[in-house]
Structure formats: structure tokens, C-alpha cells
Structure 1
Amino acid sequence: MTQPVGKEVRYSTKTKRVLHILLKVIVTVVIAILLFIAIVYTVNKISSHSEQKRLEPYGQHVSVDGKQMNVFIQGQGVETVVILPGYGTAAPALDFKPLISELIPYYKVVVIEPFGYGLSDQTQKERSTANIVSEIHEALQSLHVDRYILMAHSISGLYSLDYVNQYPNEVSAFIGLDSSVPSLSEQKVDSSVTKPIKWFRNLGFARLQLKLGADPYDGLPYDEQTKEQLNILIRKNMYNTTQLNEAVSMYSNFKAGERLAFPPNLPVLFFVQANHPVTDQWLPEHEKQIEDSVHGEMVLLDAGHYLYRSHPKEISKKIRDFTGDIKIKN
């Protein structure tokens, strides 16, 4: 027995009605998403334009590989300390300000802002350790800085391992600020991963991400004007192409660094966070790096990865003691 036609028509009409409502819901959701994206994009463009007008230049530019690299110099000390930033530090010269303030009564301090950082240009050149080291050295040569203590935070510790071996007659000592160790490699990042990140940045969602996150400088010794400038440069440099390219090169840079060691006669001082949140090998691997050093020392701090922000006085005092001991022994 066949089903009555009238019933089929009713079912068909009901199905069409449901599909129509579903389609309207989907269209509404899509429009809402597109509107949200448009608002985020517009707010980011307007805010970025406004922030550029409020950005206050600092330091000086030197020509490196045909581009402009920003460097910041303060202090009149006989010895020079050259500071290199960790990965993604938006404005190194401002970020290191608490430590710089503690060091400049005793040292001449030079902060290098590599390409893609602070007020420096970006570059399309591969972010290999060799290229980064060459660019830093070229900047220092332009400034006629030819004898100095090299201080590096995080990933710059990896680059510095290559640097001190290439220029042993220039570097008088190395100071690591929770510096990276080649044996504790970062995960491999494929270049295809960076494409959606660029979209995320270009559409303005990086700004939204920062807005929803915690203030990394809250409660730390930074004045309001410095914090404002830092936040402007964080939004300017976050996920820029040069830094994303550096992330892609990071794994191979770590692997290349495994073949290197600090020269035994180079004084090495490590400031290390006492309780690493991810690995229990952080302290042992740093100890291995200085086991053959004639003058190697490690200081543990109850701090996070950015220990120079929270413990500038302790770090400065220990550096003075350390460099004083080196003079006595030499």
C-alpha cells in the first residue's frame, strides 16, 4: 500500500522550512563572524596608526647589510657590556631598562636590537645563527666596540655560543640570563605553520590576544611612560615576518649549536631560574656547559624566565663581583 501523497507534501514542506531556518542561522552566523573580523581589523589599523604617532625613538641606527639596525648605548664605564635579547622581545632597549639602570654606573652598556626587534628594520635574509652573529658583529664593528662582555638572554645564548668561538679576541666574558642550551632543543616549526599566524597578525587578532592576556610588566620596576612605549612596540613587532622566520630556523640552529662549547679560558657566568616549569634538565645542562671552564659560575634565582626584569639589583651586583674576580686572577 502506497503512502498518501498529501502526507509526502507535508513532510517535504516541513523539511524545506527547517532547511530554510537552518540556512538563515548559518548566514547570520557567517555575517556576524565577518562583521567581527572587520571590526577587529579596523580597530587594529586605526590603533596602529595612532600608536605610530606616539612612538618615541631611542638609541641610534647603524648600517648593517644595507639595512638599519637600532642600538642603544648608555654609561661611561671602562668595561663594555653588550646585551642581546631573547626571542620575541619587542623592544630590547626598553625591556632591559631596570638592569641597564643598575649597570650604567659601572659599565658602558650597548643593547643590540637585531633585525625584526625594537626599532630595527626587518630582513628577508635567513635567520640562521651564522647570519644573526654576522649582523651583530657588523653592528659592533660600526660602533668601534672591539672588546666587551657579552650578555645574552634566552635564545641569544645559543647564538652567543657561536659568537664567542668566532670572535674570541673580542669577548672578554659571557653572561647568560637564563640562556638557551643547545641540548634542550626547541620543537621544529615548519614554514607552513607561519602562514596562518601572518593572517592572524594582519587581521588584527594579535592585538586582541594581547588585550585579553596579562600585563607582563605589572608590578615590575618600569615607569608608566616606558610601559606605554613597550606596549606600542609589542603590538608593532608581534609575529612580524623576521621573527617568524627566526622561529622556522630555530630547530636547525639548536642542532648546529650541539657541536659547540664555550672556550675553556672564557669566563662564563650563568643566571638561571631555579625551578624550570617544563624540564628538570635545565640546571644540569647549564652545569655541563661550564664544567670545563677555568672560571665558570652559575647563580640560581627564584624567578621566571625574564629574571632580569625582576632581579636587576642582584644580577648587577653579582656581575660586578664576577668581573672584579676576573681582574684579580688576570
Structure 2
Amino acid sequence: MKSQEEVTKKRIRKPLRILLKTLGAIAVAIVLFLAIVFIVNVFATNSEQEKIESYGQHVSVDGKNMNVLIQGEGEETIVLLPGFGTATPALDFKLLIDQLSPFYKVVAVEPFGYGLSDETEKERTTENIVSEVHEALQQLNIKRYMFMGHSIAGIYGIDYVNKYPNEVTAFVGIDSSVPTQPGMDVNFPLKKLEFLKKSGLLRLMMKLGADPYTGLAFDEKTVEQMKMISFKNMNNDTTLNEMDHISSNFKGAQGLTFPKDLPLLLFVQADNQGVAGWIPLHEGQIKDSVHGKVITMDGSHYLHHTKFKEIAENVRTFMKVAK
């Protein structure tokens, strides 16, 4: 007869073997899942690359191609700069550009790492980004212009207008960032974000997430192009490097103010739950301005997706008075 000890050991071994087999099966399933996601991402990326349609024109900056879309033939020029992570700026601004271009020459700049522009290994400091945008405008022989920027373009823009005061005729912010806004000293998980991109998990998450263009006025073809370019650009090495510099770029801008005599128009989200004192922060930026105005609007951070008509109309009215 078997001893009680042997019987007990046998009883323990059986569930242990089942547990180990189960864990092994789960591990194999996870590896297989990740492999499928990776392969699907590779094939989808290659397929989409052939379907992405070019727009705008390439300008040589620092030995690389920067994409710029120019629309309209007005006597005055507006230069548009996107917020951080807006994967396809010229198309993202399309609704606003269509409203502005009958009256202005509109120049939508896609910085390196965005839209159809090349990536770059150059550090994404404010100094480098501002210098590159300026070089692109110089190459296009654009000498006088309003500077209009969304989100983090408020940080690059405040530096830009101080460096090139004889070129910029006004600054217009679309829910633009403020150097002293709280919460910008965060360290981002860059390695995890890089893994999500290269593994294909980011594509899967974007596919399973809510469609950011639902209910907006973009046509179907534009939405399709924006999605494909987003899959290409999101979390690329250039924008991750920019993310790594966000804290230092905000800190570096804290000593800057907009020139008092520069017309300053700020469109601000009326109910920003994420940043304390969002409206007062912008009101502080215009308090010493000779021609300064804050206009609050109901909507998301991407005000130009829904308030493009109102933005265009207010820009025209404001500039007539500020001249």
C-alpha cells in the first residue's frame, strides 16, 4: 500500500501540473497574440504607405524635407502651426483653412515628424523647432505674416514672435499652451510609448478606441488619409524626442511674454477640466497688450474642429480693428 505521504504528494502534483500547463498555454497565447499584432501592423503600415496621397510641397530645411501646404492668395498671410502629436497638421486644419483661404494666404507648416515631413535626429528643443519653421518660411520667401498656433504652438509661438518681431504681424492662439500652466514638469514613459508603436499595439488601441472624427465636418476621404498618416506618425522617434523636451521647453518659456504692441488674439476652451485656471492664464497673457483679446468657446481642445467658422470670422474682425 502507498503511504499517506505518497498519496498527498500525488494529490499536490496533479493540480500543480494543471496549473503549469495552464500558465504555459496562457504564455503561448500571449506570445502568439503579440506576434499576430506585430505582423498585422507591419503589413498594414506597408499597405497604407502606398495609399497615402501627397499634398502641399516639400521645402528643404537642414538637409531634410519639410512639408508645407499653401492655400489662398490673399494679400495677408497666416502661418499655421499644430499642437503636439497632431499627426497630420495640414489636414487637421483643413476646415479652418477652407474658411480662411478666401481672404488670406494660409501656410500650414508640418514640422519634422509630422504629416508628410521627414523625421529628424536633431533634438526637439524650442530653439531648433522655431529655427526650422523660420527657415521653411524663408525658403518660401514669406516675410510678413500672422502666426496662428494650436496647443503647444503657444510655447513655440511666444519664442518665435520674440525672435522675429519684424516679421510677425499678430499672434492667434487656438487653445494655446501657456508657459506657466501647471502640470508640465511630468516625465513621460517614452520606452513604453515606443514599444506600443513598434509592437503594433498602438494601432490596435486606436482601432478599438472611439473614432475621434465622428460627427465632425471632415469628408470621408480626408478622414481616411488622416487615420493612415496617424498610424504612420504616432509615437515616432521625432515626436517622442519632442515629448521628452516638453518639460524643459515649457520651463524655458516661463520668462517670455508677448510683445506689448503685437496684436494678440486667444481662442480659449471655456471649460477645461484638466488645467486649473485655464482662462485666467490666458487673460494674464493679454493684460499688458495694446491689442489683446480672449474669446472663450465651448468645445474640445481642438476648437478648430468645430468652431472653424467662428474662429475665421473673429480673426478677420479682430485684425481690422488691430491694424
TM-score for the superposition, normalised by structure 2: 0.98
Shift, 1:48, TM fit: 1.0
Q: State how 1:80-95 maps to structure 2 within 5 Å.
A: 80-95=77-92
CA RMSD of the aligned region, Å?
1.2
Shift, 1:189, TM fit: 4.7
In the alignment, what sits opposite 2:161? 164
Candidates 1, 5, 8, aligned match of 1:8: 5
Does 2:246 match 1:250? Answer: yes
In the alignment, what sits opposite 1:198? 194
Instruction: Summarize deviations over 1:196-238 as a string: whole Å, max 9, x none.
Output: 2211111101111101111111111100000000000111111
Please, which runs of 5 or more residues in structure 2 have no aligned partner? none
Instruction: Summarize deviations over 1:64-95 as a string: whole Å, max 9, x none.
Output: 11111100001000000000000100100000
Contact kept? 1:189, 1:248, Cα under 8 Å: no
Does 2:319 match 1:319? Answer: no
Candidates 288, 292, 301, aligned match of 1:292: 288
Amino acid at match of 2:318: F
* Distance in 1 separating the partners of 2:130 and 2:202: 29
Does 2:118 match 1:121? Answer: yes
Which SS does the other structure have where 1:27 is aligned? helix
Shift, 1:168, TM fit: 0.1
* Distance in 1 separating the partners of 2:140 and 2:237: 27
Which SS does the other structure have where 1:216 is aligned? coil
In the alignment, what sits opposite 1:274? 270
In the alignment, what sits opposite 2:256? 260
Moved more, 109-118 or 271-280: 271-280
TM-score for the superposition, normalised by structure 1: 0.96
In the alignment, what sits opposite 2:63? 66
Q: State how 1:93-112 maps to structure 2 within 5 Å.
A: 93-112=90-109
Shift, 1:279, TM fit: 2.7
* Distance in 1 separating the partners of 2:22 and 2:57: 56
In the alignment, what sits opposite 2:304? 308
* Distance in 1 separating the partners of 2:308 and 2:197: 33
Which SS does the other structure have where 2:245 is aligned? helix
Candidates 140, 151, 155, aligned match of 1:143: 140
* Distance in 2 separating the partners of 1:225 and 1:319: 28
Amino acid at match of 1:304: S
Moved over 4 A (4+): none
Instruction: Summarize deviations over 1:254-303 as a string: whole Å, max 9, x none.
Output: 11111000000000000001111223410101011010000000111111
Shift, 1:323, TM fit: 1.2
* Distance in 2 separating the partners of 1:40 and 1:59: 33
Contact kept? 2:184, 2:250, Cα under 8 Å: no
* Distance in 2 separating the partners of 1:279 and 1:30: 41
* Distance in 1 separating the partners of 2:285 and 2:186: 26
Contact kept? 1:74, 1:110, Cα under 8 Å: yes
Q: State how 1:32-43 maps to structure 2 within 5 Å.
A: 32-43=29-40
Does 2:12 match 1:18? Answer: no
Amino acid at match of 1:250: I
Q: How many residue pairs end up in the alignment?
A: 323
Q: Does the C-alpha gap of structure 1 residues 110 and 186 become closer, same or farther in structure 2, counting only changes over 3 Å? A: farther
* Distance in 1 separating the partners of 2:292 and 2:252: 23
* Distance in 2 separating the partners of 1:145 and 1:98: 23
Contact kept? 2:64, 2:118, Cα under 8 Å: yes
* Distance in 2 separating the partners of 1:58 and 1:223: 16
Please, which runs of 5 or more residues in structure 1 have no aligned partner? none
Contact kept? 1:177, 1:308, Cα under 8 Å: yes
Shift, 1:325, TM fit: 1.2
Which SS does the other structure have where 1:175 is aligned? strand
Which SS does the other structure have where 2:122 is aligned? coil
Contact kept? 2:182, 2:276, Cα under 8 Å: no
